[in-house]
C-alpha cells in the first residue's frame, strides 16, 4: 500500500521584515491510508505550517524552497490551478481551531453545509448535520453561526469537512477553543466520522493526552523537523528524544501529587537556514559537544524513528 501523504526533505520559509525565517527544516513524514496521526510540539515547531502546506494554503510570504510534498502521488506545490482546486475539493477536509472564524457569519449554516457538499439538497445536508452529532438539523440549518454554541459550530465545521468524503482530514487544535466538558464528545465525533469515511486524520495539537487517547501514531516536531515518530503508546511510555521527554514532564496531569510541572527551559529556535547541529541542544539536559557540532539524522530505534545522537541514554532514563 503506497503512502497517502509523503513529505521528503521539505523546506518552507517565511519572508519577514527581519529576513527569512525557516519554518520547516528538511522535514520528512509519511501518512498511511486510514491512519490517525497526532503531530505535537510547542508553538513555532512548524505544525501549522505543515498542515497548511498540505493544501497549499500558506500565506503569500511563505516560500517552499526545496523538497517535495505529495498527496496520493500528486506533487502539491507543482499542481496547476485546476488540479489544486480538485485536490482541495476531493481529497482534503480541514477542521480549524476556531469554528467561528471558519464559518461565514453572513450565511445560514444549512447553505454553507450544502455548498461544501457540492450543492446537495436539503435532505442530504441535514443528514450530514445528524452524522456530525447535531440532533436538531432543521433548527441548526436555519441558524447563523453566532446563534450556535462553540461545540455546535465545530460540529458544523466537521460536517463540512467530511461532506465530500475526503481522503485526508487535517484538524488543527480542533477542541482547544471549546469548553472542557464537550471536548471529548466533539473529538469522538471527528474520529467516528473519519473511521466511517475510511479517511486518514492528522491532528495538530499541544495536548499530549488528546494525542494519546485519539491517535494511533505520534510525531513530535521541533525546529521544523520531526524528531521522533512511532506508535503513540510506545513514544509516550518510553520517549527516546529529550524534547519528547521534556514535553511529557511539562504536561499537566503527568505530575505526582504535590509535584510541580517542569517547563522546558529556554525558547524554540528561530532558524535562518538549515540547522547545522541539533537545534534542541541549547535546551537539552543531555547535550554533549557533538550535539552542537553535528546535525543528527533520523534512525530506527526501539520501534520508532528518532533524530538524536543520545537517544539510547534517553531511553535508559525513561526506563528508570
Which residue numbers in the chain have pLDDT < 50?
none
Instruction: Please write down the long-range contacts of 133-139, taking CB distance under 8 Å and 24 or more positions apart.
Output: 133/185, 133/186, 133/189, 134/159
Question: In whole angstroms, what is the distance from residue 110 CA to residue 45 CA?
Answer: 37
C-alpha 27 chain-centroid distance: 14
CA quadruple 301, 304, 305, 309: dihedral sign: negative
pLDDT for residue 252: 73
Comparing CA positions, the residue from 132, 127, 204 lying closest to residue 172 is 204
Q: Say how far apart CA 194 and CA 300 lie, in whole Å.
A: 29
* CA distances from residue 95 to 125, 130, 156 in whole angstroms, order as listed: 18, 17, 10
Report which of 278, 245, 237, 240 is spatially closest to residue 262, judged by C-alpha positions.
245
What's the alpha-carbon Rg for the chain, to the nearest Å? Answer: 20
Give the torsion sign (CA, 129, 134, 135, 137): negative
Give the pTM: 0.93
For residue 151, list its beta bridge partners: none
pLDDT of residue 31: 97
Q: How far apart are CA 86 and CA 219, in angstroms?
A: 28
- Residue-wise pLDDT tens digits, 277-296: 999 999 999 999 999 999 99
What is the model's pLDDT at position 258? Answer: 65
pLDDT at residue 137, rounded to an integer: 95
Cβ pair 299, 312 in contact under 8 A: no
Residues in the chain: 320
pLDDT of residue 97: 85
| Closest by Cα among 66, 56, 60, 57 to 22 | 66
pLDDT at 255: 59
**∠ Cα 29 35 36 (to 5°):** 85
Query: What's the pLDDT at 254?
Result: 62
Cα–Cα distance, 279 to 143 (Å, whole number): 49
Amino acid at each position: 500500500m503506497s503512502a497517502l501523504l509523503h513529505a521528503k526533505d521539505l523546506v518552507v520559509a517565511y519572508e519577514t521584515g527581519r529576513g527569512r525565517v525557516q519554518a520547516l527544516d528538511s522535514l520528512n513524514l509519511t501518512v498511511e491510508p486510514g491512519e490517525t496521526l497526532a503531530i505535537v510540539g510547542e508553538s513555532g515547531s512548524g505544525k501549522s505550517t505543515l498542515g497548511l502546506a498540505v493544501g497549499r494554503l500558506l500565506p503569500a510570504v511563505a516560500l517552499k524552497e526545496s523538497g517535495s510534498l505529495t498527496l496520493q502521488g500528486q506533487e502539491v506545490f507543482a499542481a496547476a490551478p485546476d488540479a489544486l482546486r480538485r485536490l482541495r475539493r476531493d481529497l482534503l477536509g480541514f477542521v480549524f481551531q476556531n469554528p467561528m472564524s471558519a464559518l461565514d457569519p453572513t450565511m445560514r449554516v444549512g447553505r454553507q453545509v450544502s455548498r461544501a457538499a457540492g450543492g446537495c439538497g436539503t435532505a442530504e445536508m441535514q443528514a450530514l448535520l445528524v452524522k456530525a452529532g447535531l440532533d436538531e438539523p432543521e433548527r441548526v440549518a436555519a441558524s447563523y453561526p453566532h446563534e450556535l454554541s462553540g461545540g455546535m459550530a465545530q460540529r458544523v465545521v466537521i460536517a463540512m469537512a467530511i461532506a465530500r468524503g475526503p481522503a485526508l482530514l487535517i484538524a488543527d487544535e480542533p477542541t482547544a477553543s471549546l469548553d472542557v466538558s464537550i471536548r471529548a464528545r466533539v473529538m469522538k465525533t471527528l474520529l467516528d466520522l473519519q473511521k466511517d469515511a475510511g479517511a486518514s486524520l492528522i491532528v495538530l495539537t499541544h495536548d499530549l493526552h488528546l494525542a494519546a487517547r485519539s491517535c494511533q501514531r505520534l510525531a513530535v516536531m521541533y525546529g521544523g523537523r520531526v524528531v521522533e515518530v512511532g506508535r503513540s503508546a510506545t513514544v509516550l511510555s518510553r520517549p527516546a528524544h529529550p524534547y519528547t521527554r521534556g514535553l511529557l514532564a511539562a504536561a499537566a496531569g503527568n505530575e505526582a501529587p504535590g509535584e510541580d510541572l517542569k517547563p522546558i527551559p529556554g525558547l524554540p529556535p528561530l532558524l535562518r537556514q538549515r540547522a547545522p547541529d541539533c537545534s534542541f541542544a541549547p535546551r537539552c539536559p543531555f547535550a554533549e559537544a557533538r550535539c552542537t557540532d553535528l546535525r543528527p539524522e533520523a534512525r530506527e530505534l526501539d520501534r520508532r524513528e528518532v533524530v538524536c545522537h543520545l537517544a539510547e541514554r534517553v531511553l535508559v532514563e525513561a526506563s528508570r
